[in-house]
């Protein structure tokens, strides 16, 4: 690995949840420490499991020495705690000064992912610029680097104004930056350090899958635009050639090879390393040492790999049975990137249409056509795509023409920059969804990529339709607003999609908590692409299936209604393949209530 042979002092590992960033960052840290370097490993991941990986409690204020690895120290930056401190710092001084509704709106502005990301960035820029804290380390390795959009936010002039403290026009997630003028020089230095190829390497981590590689390509472009060009690509979890005659293993290998042979040009040009799929979770020093080793010492399969009993979980078909019983309604499919929510949404829509119901499937996924080749041929099904950029531009224009009409030139420029935030796009898309929602009174409407609880509360806190309607109701008047429809499971059923792996399950739990803050309890979870439900015979896949069991059990303990979809030998593309996802598997599942 070139980034290990000639490592820069700073190494950042970035990628979507569940691709193996933490494992690779830990393995890299151990490798460098074993070579006699002094290494600090820092995690900014909200779902960090550094303590579990190393078997020791990791400190959040002082680096913790890692037993068994001389020269390695680890530090956890708790993004949630950092975000809460951030909110207190900004809202605290005005809590007893401004009206309660205004304070509530400010708190909700500061409750989204942007605040958490920037708060974490605030913490680790201190490490980058504090020579006392990191000066005596040969290498500092960060698990979870800042995203391109976080870095872009830091560069917006609006970020360094006080405009948002009094802004009631539109909605934004830039609020936290308005109180950070003191850190401006520190942030500028940190961004410059990231772009310095002599000191910094960014390692893009991906799975050998089309969607994961496309996400890595997007991240690469974002970072390159900001001048961060010293990038390496690690494709993690590649199915090795092992002579297996398991059809599932051969199909998995074929799909991965196809995805890796069609790398986008920008990724293909990067120094690239393929790391083979491991039979176990990366926990413990020995397993991590093996991950990047040319001659692993403990590559044998886990002893419990062959002791798999049958899974007894409902199928997607059984969830659809319950959805169908209402005759119409709204189905919203949520999940983090790469878990297969577009495919699940398409499968639900196709299954309902195949049963004779009128269905409208809509998505904001720019690659949705890959899994929905049923647009013009499948009976009873209408497919549409909401273009996020078009909706964002329409929303911006509306806000500028209405809220911005009485602002002076400087105020309008600040408003225009405020409307460049990621939350603006999410709110604009939700407004487009709201127009389609009305159709669900007479047919099924299936929505891929639903709004987060933060977006819904942000709309409510900044003068949304829901709050205005409720405030102006006459006594005895009854009305159903979009928010009320989302909160009513008889009208809207929200499905959270996850993979049976540590990080995707943690992210799904976080998403569920986010929705519950908005008074919305997800109706069901769908565990997608499960090897445990596919009954593989290849020893490596059997071992992986065994590892999935703990994550499936974790979901069952916290969720009342859950279904599972097995890993399929063929990609679910096209109407017939999508129907396979929703086809009953006789005798293998419990009933859904």
Tens of pLDDT, residue by residue over 166-196, are: 444 444 444 444 445 556 677 777 778 888 8
Q: How many domains, the chain? A: 2
Tokens coding 306: 């062959």
The 10s digit of each residue's pLDDT in 298-307 is: 555 555 544 5
| pLDDT tens-digit series, residues 457-507 | 555 544 444 454 455 555 665 555 667 778 888 889 999 999 998 878 888
22 assigned to active site: yes
Closest CA to 334 of 348, 323, 321, 351: 348
Residue 304 placed within a domain:
no
Residues near 523 by Cβ (< 8 Å), separated by ≥ 6? 489, 492, 493, 494, 495, 561
Determine, yes or no, domain membership for 550.
Answer: yes
Between residues 296 and 106, which one has the greater pLDDT?
106
Residue 104 and residue 41: Cα distance in Å, rounded? 37
Q: How would residue 442 be classed by pLDDT, with cut points 50, 70 and 90?
A: very high
**Dihedrals φ, ψ of 445, to 5°?**
-120, 120
Catalytic: which of 18, 71, 105, 340? 18
Of 88, 92, 140, 95, nearest to 119 by C-alpha is: 88
Instruction: Classify 74 in phi/psi space as left (phi over 0), alpha (psi -120 to 50) or beta.
Output: beta
Q: Stretch 198-222: mean pLDDT, rounded? A: 88
Look at residue 203 and give its three-state secondary structure. strand
Q: Which of 14, 15, 17, 22 is catalytic?
A: 22
Q: Are 228 and 263 in a shared domain?
A: yes
Q: Which is more confidently placed, 492 or 146?
A: 492
**Residue 41 structure tokens:** 């490993």
- Cα separation, 327 vs 490, in Å, equals 11
How many CB atoms are closer than 10 A to CB 368?
A: 21
In a domain, 560, yes or no: yes
The answer to whether position 384 is within a domain reads yes
Q: Are residues 384 and 342 in the same domain?
A: yes
Name which residue leads in pLDDT, 204 or 193.
204
- Helix, strand, coil share of the chain (percent; to 5): 50, 15, 40
pLDDT score at 127: 74
Q: Which residues pair with 74 in a beta bridge?
A: 41, 64
Of 239, 281, 282, 204, the C-alpha closest to 26 is 282
Which of residues 236, 262, 294 is at a domain's end? 294
User: Is 18 a known active-site residue?
Assistant: yes
**Does the active-site annotation cover 503?**
yes
Helix (H, G, I), strand (E, B) or coil at 88: helix
Catalytic member of 15, 16, 17, 21 = 21
Tell me whether residue 309 is in a domain: no
Strands 72-76 and 64-65: antiparallel
The pair of three-digit structure tokens given for residue 535, joined into one six-digit string: 């009954």
Q: What are phi and psi of 398, to 5 degrees?
A: -65, -45
CATH number at residue 174: 3.40.50.300
For residues 287 and 389, membership in a common domain is answered with no
Catalytic residue among 503, 506, 510, 546: 503
- pLDDT greater than 50 at residue 592: no
- 454 & 364 share domain: yes
Let me know whether 331 and 184 are in one domain: no
- Closest to 29 in 3D by CA, of 199, 118, 143, 155: 143
CA dihedral 567, 572, 577, 581 (to 10 degrees): 50
422 and 491 belong to one structural domain:
yes
Query: What value does the CA radius of gyration of the chain take, rounded to a whole number of Å?
Result: 25
Q: Are residues 247 and 320 in the same domain?
A: no
* Helix runs in 421-569, H state only: 422-437, 453-461, 465-471, 482-487, 502-517, 539-558
DSSP-derived secondary structure letter, 455 = H
Whether the CB-CB separation of 12 and 202 falls below 8 Å is answered with yes
Task: Give catalytic status of residue 71 as yes or no.
Answer: no
What pTM was estimated for this model as a whole? Answer: 0.76
Task: State yes or no: is 45 an active-site residue.
Answer: yes
Using DSSP's 3-state secondary structure scheme, residue 587 falls into coil
Do 58 and 110 have their domain in common? yes
Identify whether 544 is part of a domain: yes
Closest CA to 38 of 126, 134, 145: 134
Token readout for 373 is: 């080749």
Q: Annotated catalytic residue: which of 15, 16, 17, 23?
A: 23
Burial of 149 (0-12, 13-18, 19+ CB in 10 A): middle
DSSP state of 72: E
Residue 589 lies in a domain: no
Same domain, 91 and 234: yes
| 20 included as an active-site residue | yes
Q: Which domain holds residue 360?
A: 316-581
**Number of Cα atoms under 13 Å in the Cβ half of residue 285:** 12
Q: State pLDDT tens for residues 329-359.
A: 999 998 877 788 888 999 999 999 999 999 9
Task: Give domain status of residue 306, yes or no.
Answer: no
- To which residue do tokens 């929303």 refer? 395
The CA distance from 451 to 592, in Å, is 26
The verdict on 22 and 95 lying in the same domain is yes
6/201 Cα distance (integer angstroms): 10
Are 460 and 559 members of one domain? yes
| Shared-domain flag, residues 272 and 389 | no
What is the C-alpha to C-alpha distance for residues 210 and 591, in angstroms, rounded to an integer?
A: 34
Q: Which of 15, 17, 20, 453 is catalytic?
A: 20
């Amino acid at each position: 690995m070139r980034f290990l042979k000639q490592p820069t002092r700073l190494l950042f590992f970035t990628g979507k949840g569940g691709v193996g960033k933490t494992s690779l960052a830990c393995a890299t840290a151990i490798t460098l420490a074993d070579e006699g370097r002094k290494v600090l490993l820092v995690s900014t991941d909200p779902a960090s499991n550094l303590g579990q990986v190393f078997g020791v409690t990791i400190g959040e204020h002082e680096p913790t020495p890692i037993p068994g690895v001389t020269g390695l120290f680890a530090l956890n930056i708790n993004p949630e705690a950092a975000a809460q401190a951030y909110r207190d710092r900004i809202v605290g001084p005005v809590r007893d000064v401004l009206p309660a509704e205004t304070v509530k709106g400010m708190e909700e502005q500061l409750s989204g992912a942007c605040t958490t990301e920037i708060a974490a960035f605030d913490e680790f820029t201190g490490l980058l610029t504090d020579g006392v804290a990191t000066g005596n380390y040969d290498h500092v390795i960060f698990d979870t680097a800042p995203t391109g959009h976080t870095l872009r936010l830091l560069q917006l002039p609006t970020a360094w104004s006080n405009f948002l403290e009094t802004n009631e026009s539109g909605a934004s997630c830039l609020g936290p930056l308005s109180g950070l003028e003191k850190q401006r020089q520190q942030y500028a230095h940190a961004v410059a350090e990231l772009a310095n190829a002599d000191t910094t390497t960014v390692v893009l981590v991906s799975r050998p899958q089309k969607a994961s590689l496309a996400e890595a390509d997007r991240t690469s472009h974002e970072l390159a635009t900001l001048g961060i060009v010293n990038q390496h690509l690690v494709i993690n979890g590649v199915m090795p050639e092992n002579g297996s005659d398991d059809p599932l293993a051969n199909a998995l290998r074929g799909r991965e090879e196809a995805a890796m042979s069609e790398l986008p040009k920008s990724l293909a040009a990067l120094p690239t390393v393929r790391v083979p799929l491991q039979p176990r979770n990366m926990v413990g020093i020995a397993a991590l040492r093996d991950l990047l080793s040319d001659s692993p010492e403990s590559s044998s399969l886990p002893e419990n790999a062959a002791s798999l009993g049958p899974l007894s979980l409902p199928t997607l078909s059984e969830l659809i049975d319950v959805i169908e019983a209402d005759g119409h309604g709204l189905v919203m499919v949520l999940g983090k990137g790469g878990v297969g929510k577009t495919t699940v949404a398409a499968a639900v829509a196709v299954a309902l249409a195949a049963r004779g119901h009128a269905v409208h499937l809509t998505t904001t996924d720019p690659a949705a056509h890959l899994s929905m080749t049923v647009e013009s041929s499948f009976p009873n099904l209408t497919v549409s795509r909401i273009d996020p950029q078009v909706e964002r531009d329409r929303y911006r224009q509306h806000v500028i023409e209405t809220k911005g009409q009485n602002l002076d030139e400087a105020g309008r420029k600040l408003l225009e920059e405020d409307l460049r935030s990621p939350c603006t796009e999410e709110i604009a898309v939700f407004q487009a969804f709201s127009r389609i929602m009305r159709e669900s009174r007479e047919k099924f409407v299936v929505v891929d990529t639903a709004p987060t609880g933060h977006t819904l509360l942000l709309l409510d806190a900044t003068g949304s339709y829901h709050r205005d309607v409720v405030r102006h109701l006459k006594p005895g008047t009854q009305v159903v607003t979009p928010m009320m429809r989302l909160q009513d499971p008889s009208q809207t059923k929200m499905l959270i999609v996850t993979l049976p792996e540590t990080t995707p399950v943690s992210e799904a739990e976080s998403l569920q908590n986010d929705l519950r803050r908005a008074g919305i309890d997800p109706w069901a979870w769908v565990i997608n692409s499960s090897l445990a439900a596919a009954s593989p015979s290849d020893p490596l896949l059997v071992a992986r299936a065994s590892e999935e069991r703990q994550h499936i059990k974790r979901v069952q303990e916290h969720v009342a209604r859950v279904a599972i979809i097995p890993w399929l030998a063929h990609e679910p593309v096209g109407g017939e393949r999508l129907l396979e996802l929703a086809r009953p598997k006789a005798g293998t599942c419990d009933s859904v209530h």
